[in-house]
Amino acid sequence: MSQPYFSQPAELEALAVALKKWENTPFVAHCERPGAGVDCIRFAAAVLAGIGAIEPVDWPPYAINGNRAHGYLHILRGIHERGLVLLPADAPHLPGDLHIYTDRHFLHTGLIGPDGQLWHCLRGPGVVPHDPRDPTFAKRLRRRYRLYIAQQA
């Protein structure tokens, strides 16, 4: 396997700058504008697309509350189309890792920042860094993905 995308200083710096740009952006459903609003589904994709790590996502209609299955399937399809790789449960947390959290009526995404914190968007505080070991989120963590540098043929 090739190197993680965020293993180089320039990419780590771009991720750090992008996360700071989004910090304290309020939770606004179906939005993705730094400083104005973003929701917990769009946040991670908006950060990664904003720094050129992945192609932008064309989001279909989805419900913030309620039927999470449609949004979850779209996220998983988009992850695979953009080349992110599913990680084993025991893989270390690295900057840029995409976390997907689910529960009965709960679908949430976040990114591990260069600071080791989980960056995500919450109702109330908006985009904030958070300890990824927090049991509130750790028990709902379902999948982790990592983007790797494309290998040249």
What span, in angstroms and rounded, lies between the C-alpha atoms of 108 and 121?
Answer: 9
Can you give the pLDDT at residue 1?
A: 57
What is the distance between the alpha carbons of residues 38 and 29, in angstroms, rounded to a whole number?
6
Find the CATH number of the domain harbouring 86.
3.90.1720.10
Distance from the Cα of residue 131 to its chain's centroid = 15
Does a structural domain hold residue 16?
A: yes
In tens, the pLDDT along 104-137 reads: 666 788 999 999 999 999 999 999 999 999 998 8
DSSP 84-106: -EEPPTTSPP-TT-EEEEEETTE
What is the pTM for the complete model shown? 0.88
pLDDT-derived band at 77 (thresholds 50, 70, 90) equals confident
Long-range Cβ pairs for the range 56-64 (8 Å, 24+) = 59/30, 62/30, 64/29, 64/30, 64/39
57: in domain: no
Question: Of the segments 75-84, 98-107, 119-128, 144-153, which one has the largest average pLDDT value?
Answer: 119-128
